[in-house]
Amino acid sequence: MTVWNQHIRMPALQLNLVRCIVLSLMFGVTLPFIEWPQGWGFYSGALIAGIASMVTSTSLFYGAKEHSAHLASLFMPLAMIFTFVVWLFIGEGRLAWMADHPINAALIAAAMVIANVTVVKMRHIRFTHTSFIGLVVLNAVMIALSQIWVKETTENKLDAVLMLSFIIFITQVICSFGWMKFQALPIAPLRVTRNIMVLSVVSALSCMASWYAVLWAPDPSYYTAVLLAAPFMLMLYHRAKGHDISQSLIPGAIITCCSLVIVLFSL
């Protein structure tokens, strides 16, 4: 998803609007056949997740179009830290587990700090200071809030994940359309091309896989820890395409190693 808009180069909001209309229809056809979750907590969490997804998806598409895909995904380490710290205090038994495994806790904390310091030190970042910090912090906070809220309010069942996915994408449709109207941005004819369909299928699979990961993991930040390998994978992609990423390889490898440490020592 992060690399997609480097190639088709659509305006971020327009791409997100078309993609989410297709995804809303895809998940909408399942609604008559599933058991709808009960309780305001689930639906409020799904709404928050939809708004967070709209912010992060649009930022990814914009960053990929204007800069590159591996820069667009650099907010993930900070999102992991936010989620990890908050979950320590609200996740059942997390503080006790950390107290019982002090070496594991120290290694996990060190890996998280090193990953974030490495991101800050990456010399190839081309954002201005203000725009880069704002993009990173906004996305990190939105991801952390949505993951924690959904984990606290959603059952680990297929019906719940299907409904969650539908609400996330229909919320993105409404928010993307509303923001474009508010900004007086032109809404081009909504053509569903082969590129959009492929992106939509990938988005549907990744949405379900990511929320299952959040629900199954003992700590929702571990899901983001695994995704820390994504910037490094994207760097390898850019290298295969002949782009100059010589300054990115070592920091990317460090971040990936940190993600492995976090996962291995949290078991």
The reported pLDDT for the residue numbered 261 is 83
CA distance 115 to 118: 5
User: In this predicted model, what pLDDT tens digit does every residue of 86-126 receive, in sequence order?
Assistant: 887 877 777 888 888 899 889 988 887 887 777 666 645 55
Contact in structure between 133 and 78 (CB atoms under 8 Å) = no
> Which two tokens mark 193?
């091309």
Q: What is the pLDDT of residue 170?
A: 94
Query: How far apart (Å, rounded) are the C-alpha atoms in residues 181 and 183?
Result: 5
8-26 in b/e form (b: 16+ CB < 10 A) is eebbbbbbbbbbbbbbbeb
Per domain, the residue ranges of the chain are 5-264
- What is the pLDDT at residue 55? 81
Helix (H) or strand (E) holding 51: helix 40-66
Q: Is the pLDDT of residue 79 over 80?
A: no
Residue among 108, 69, 97 at smallest CA distance from 259: 108
- Mind listing the pLDDT tens digit for each residue in 20-78? 999 999 999 999 999 998 888 899 889 988 888 888 777 766 665 555 545 555 667 77
Regarding predicted confidence, which is higher, 78 or 208? 208
Helix H, strand E, coil C: the string for 164-195 is: HHHHHHHHHHHHHHHHHHHCCCCCCCCCCCHH
Most confident of the following: 59-73, 111-125, 206-220, 229-243: 206-220
- Reported as a single tens digit per residue, the pLDDT across 137-193 is 777 788 888 888 888 888 888 999 999 999 999 998 998 888 888 878 777 777 777
Amino acid at 83: T
Task: Output the CA angle 230-235-238, nearest 5 degrees.
Answer: 130
Q: How far apart are CA 231 and CA 223, in angstroms?
A: 15
**Packed helices 158-182 and 12-28: angle between N→C axes, nearest 10 degrees:** 150
Whose CA is closest to 156, among 196, 211, 101? 211
| Of 167, 153, 162, 157, residue with least CA distance to 51 | 167
Token pair of 88 as six digits: 């320590």
Task: Grade residue 6 by pLDDT with cuts at 50, 70 and 90.
Answer: low
Contacts of 175 (CB under 8 A, 6+ apart): 50, 51, 54
More confidently predicted of 83 and 231: 83
pLDDT of 123 reads 47
